[in-house]
């Protein structure tokens, strides 16, 4: 049946009779309780599980860095560590790729800064493109 064809009233009624339309005006035949039980609850509980992990690691980071005076390098290290753990919750083995990319990019930045300060951006960009092409 052509989806753009116009149906006559008789064809439309026959279509509805064959496909279970019972004059409900296109509304879902399920009750509100069924919708909540089968749609809303699984969606909210699944989202809460993921968001809960993120909130937990954010809380760990905040407590670790705000409860005592720590040097900036340690704050950055804690941020990277909690961020990697949070990433591992969602991306599992793909976190290894992110770690390799970050380490190699940082090394490219450090080495290019030593050799030529003007080309740092181009060197890091070329390095990232090469890693993405090869990996």
Name which of 25, 28, 23, 53 is nearest 40 in CA terms: 28
Token pair in block for residue 123: 């060197």
Q: Model confidence over 28-73: pLDDT tens digits?
A: 667 888 888 888 898 999 889 889 999 999 999 999 999 989 999 9
- For 123, phi then psi, to 5°, come to -65, -45
Is the overall model pTM greater than 0.75, yes or no?
no
Distance CA 131, CA 99 (A): 12
**Positive or negative, the Cα torsion across 41, 44, 46, 48?**
negative
Name which of 122, 119, 124 is nearest 106 in CA terms: 124
């Amino acid at each position: 049946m052509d989806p753009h064809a116009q149906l006559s009233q008789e064809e439309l009624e026959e279509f509805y009779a064959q496909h279970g339309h019972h004059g409900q005006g296109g509304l879902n035949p399920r009750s509100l309780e069924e919708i909540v039980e089968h749609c809303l609850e699984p969606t909210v509980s699944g989202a809460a599980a993921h968001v809960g992990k993120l909130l937990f690691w954010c809380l760990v980071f905040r407590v670790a860095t705000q409860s005592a005076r720590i040097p900036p390098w340690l704050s950055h290290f804690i941020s990277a560590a909690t961020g990697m753990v949070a990433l591992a919750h969602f991306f599992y083995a793909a976190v290894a790729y992110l770690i390799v990319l970050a380490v190699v990019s940082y090394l490219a930045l450090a080495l290019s800064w030593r050799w030529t300060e003007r080309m740092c951006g181009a060197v890091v960009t070329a390095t990232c493109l090469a890693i993405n092409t090869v990996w």
